[in-house]
Amino acid sequence: MRPVCLLLAVLALLPGAVRAADLTTDLSADHVDITTGFNGTNLIVYGVQRKKGVIAVTLRGPERTMVVRRKGQVLGAWINVESIEFHRVPGYYDFAQSDTLHEGLAGEKGIGLSALDFYPEERLSENEAKRFREALIRNKQQQGLFPLQGRDVSVIEQGFFKVVFPLPANMPTGTYRVDTYLIDGSRIAAQAQKTLQVGQVGFSARIYLFARDHALLYGFMAVALAFIAGWGAFTFLRRD
Amino acid sequence: MQVYLPIAEMAVSGESILLLGAIVGFLSGVFGVGGGFLTTPFLIFMGIPPAIAVGTQSAQLVASSITGVLGHTRRGNVDGRMAVVMLGGGLVGSVIGIGLFKLLSYIGQIDLFIALSYVFLLGLIGLMMLGESIKAVFFKRYQSTDMEPLNQQPFFKNLPYKVRFTKSRLYISALVPAGMGVIGGILTATLGIGGGFMLVPAMIYIIGMPSLLVPGTSLLQIIFIGSFACLMHAVANQTVDIMLALLLMTGGVVGAQLGVRATKLIKGAPARIILALLIVGVSFRLAADLFLPPLDAFTTVVR
């Protein structure tokens, strides 16, 4: 056993291992439970930085393929005339930073809305791609799934900070990633990653899973419910 | 109170859904209409995805049809054989409808299809009802003129597969009611409505059924078409939200009871004017969404 302990002690003293400890983060919860009464919640990211630098945090929901459609006027009516698919769009995105960042760095790590990368299915002219990209961000903002602007990093005490991310009721379910960066000029001095599980629990989850895994049985249940409700309404009405 | 809908994966205000169910139930209590033609557009106005609105509405449709049929059966006003023949066509229609729904969703035109259909159907029905009831109120002696049923026309007489419908005292081709069933099935699967408002006049004027038997017979086949459409939506599209259905039905049962009590206080024709105005209003609102420039020409959905 002793050689292993010695090895660990040596590893801990190596520069790389020391640098990882320059930044430590944790979440207020590692899971968000969506119950029948769920109406959104707050996620708090806590962190300790042992070196001076700018703190930036990104929160990314599970990636989805999104379709952006454009309406045009046809015979007076506004109907969808054009559509573009974007792959690997985070279903939810939010970010925070304690100061302005070096632009190249923000782009590389996807910090901030303008730094988000989406992958259109087909080749588009730069102008087209930009219009659809902007529309995608605008629509997601309207749905409350992308932020209008970044959150604040609040410093509780020297080197001890926290970020509050308000999460809406319509947040997509799945695995979320929280990345925290400690930035020194144009260089990342340290980074830390945490994951967050968002899922339906309890009654709500049971319905969701049942509807997915036993679709036919679920359909019969819905019909049975309708029969009971219809029969119930009739018996109530007959009393009059 | 916010309620999280497990299939729609979104939170809605429970009170609004209950209220919507109650209003629609009230209308069905007063006028005997199914009310699906109002539920689907209002659910969409409230931000429920059209696919979930239509899928869930099929369950609600079954509930309200059962309530209606039980009443008609007790009085013996149902032609079972006619219902079975229409049902045969209806099942074919629902399969076509579900396929159409899936295809239109994929190419991004389902919203347009639903909006156009509702604008057309509600506009037509609403204006016809409005005209009829205004005449009934202001010209007391006005009586609707009797029309000769079309089943005596040579085209309908020469169709094959003649069947005797003892209860309705008819000997006609089974293709006519089956064809109507197909149309009803498509409407149920794509719009979440029973199509009673189209089937009832068609059964009277085209098939020539005794009008006493029509509502019960139409409702009986709608129960099965609705159930079938509900199963198909649950399996093929996973768009039946049982929580949403439960809220709508609970509101519906309460509303229907109030509606039946209110019939003693409400006069037929003026009340029909109000219903007609409501229907025309919904039609206009949908048309406005279609023809006014949208706030944002772009929309984003998950594929």
Q: What sign for the dihedral angle of Cα B105, B111, B117, B122?
A: positive
How sure is the predictor about A5, in pLDDT bands with cuts at 50, 70 and 90?
A: low
Question: Which residue from A38, A220, A230 is facing B65, i.e. has the nearest CB?
Answer: A230
Per-residue pLDDT tens digits for B79-105: 888 889 999 999 999 999 999 988 998
Between strands A31-34 and A187-200, the pairing is parallel
Q: What is the model's pLDDT at position A17?
A: 46
Could you say which of B7, B62, B293 has the minimum Cβ distance to residue A227?
B62
List chain B residues with CB under 8 Å of A40.
11
Category of A175 on φ-ψ map: left (φ > 0), alpha (ψ -120 to 50) or beta: beta
Residues of chain B with pLDDT under 70: 32, 34, 140-149, 151-152, 267-268
- Per-residue tokens: B298: 């772009």
What's the pLDDT score for residue A62? 94
Least confident of A7-21, A27-41, A199-213, B218-232: A7-21
Of A226, A122, A128, A10, residue with least CA distance to B36? A226
* Residue B157, SS3 per DSSP: helix
Per-residue pLDDT at A58 exceeds 90: yes
| pLDDT of A146 over the 90 cut | yes
- How many degrees, rounded to 5, is the angle at CA A198 between CA A193 and CA A200? 165
Query: Which residues in chain A are contacts of B67 at CB distance < 8 A?
Result: 230-231, 233-234, 237
For B113, the closest chain A residue by CA position comes to A79
Q: A8 touching B, CB under 8 A?
A: no
**pLDDT at B147 (0 to 100):** 57
Strands A41-49 and A23-27: antiparallel
Give me the mean pLDDT over the A191-203 stretch: 92
Alpha-carbon distances of B81 from A119, B18, B78, B202, rounded to whole Å: 57, 37, 9, 17
Neighbouring-strand partners of residue A167: A41
Buried-exposed string B72-98: b where 16+ CB fall within 10 A, e elsewhere: beeeebbbebbbbbbbbbbbbbbbebb
First to last CA, chain B: 30
pLDDT confidence of A145, banded at 50, 70, 90? Answer: very high
Looking at residue A237, its pLDDT comes to: 67
| Helices B80-107 and B50-74, axial angle in degrees (round to 10) | 170
Chain A residue with CA closest to B295: the answer is A71
Do the beta carbons of residue A28 and residue A43 sit within 8 Å?
yes
Q: How far are the Cα atoms of B42, B60, B127, B135 from residue B278, in angstroms, in the given order? A: 12, 20, 11, 18
Chain A residues within an 8 Å CB radius of B302: 64-67, 91
Query: CB–CB of A79 and B260 under 8 A?
Result: no
Outline where A27-125 has alpha helix (H). 103-109
Whether the pLDDT of residue A23 is over 80: the answer is yes
Mark yes or no for CB contact B253/A233 under 8 Å: yes
Q: Which residue has the tokens 């991004």?
A: B108
Backbone φ, ψ for residue A27 (5° rounding): -105, 155
pLDDT of residue B65: 86
Checking if the pLDDT of A162 tops 90, the result is yes
Overall residue count recorded for chain A in this entry: 240
Global ipTM? 0.84
Cβ–Cβ < 8 Å for B257, B67 = no
Q: What is the 3-state secondary structure (H, E, C) of B130-155?
A: HHHHHHHHHCCCCCCCCCCCHHHCHH
Query: CB distance from A213 to chain B under 8 Å?
Result: no
Nearest to B111 by CA among B162, B158, B50: B50
Q: Which pair of tokens denotes residue B216?
A: 């019960």
Q: Quick one: pLDDT at residue A6? A: 52
Q: What is the pLDDT of residue B205?
A: 79
How many residues are there in chain B? 303
Two tokens, residue B176? 């006519």
Q: Which amino acid is at A232?
A: G
pLDDT at A26: 93
- The percentage of chain A sitting over the pLDDT mark of 90, rounded to a whole number, equals 46
CA-nearest of B51, B53, B52, B49 to B38 is: B53
DSSP string, B231-289: HHIIIII----HHHHHHHHHHHHHHHHHHHHHTTTS-HHHHHHHHHHHHHHHHHHHHHH
Q: What is the pLDDT of residue B148?
A: 65
- pLDDT reported for residue A11: 47
Angle at B63 between CA B28 and CA B69, to 5 degrees: 70
Average pLDDT over residues A143-161: 91
Report the range of poorest mean pLDDT among A110-114, A158-162, B19-23, B155-159.
B155-159
Q: Across chain B, which distance is largest between two alpha carbons, in Å? A: 60
- Report pLDDT for B146: 54
> Which of the 8 DSSP states describes residue A114?
G
Quickly state the pLDDT bin for A16 (edges 50, 70, 90). Answer: very low
Instruction: Write out the DSSP string of B180-200.
Output: HHHHHHHHHHHHS---HHHHH
Kindly list the strands in the beta sheet with A187-200, ordered across the sheet, starting from the edge strand earlier in the chain.
A31-34, A187-200, A174-184, A54-60, A93-97
Q: What is the largest CA-CA distance in chain A?
A: 87
Q: What does the block give as tokens for B108?
A: 């991004």
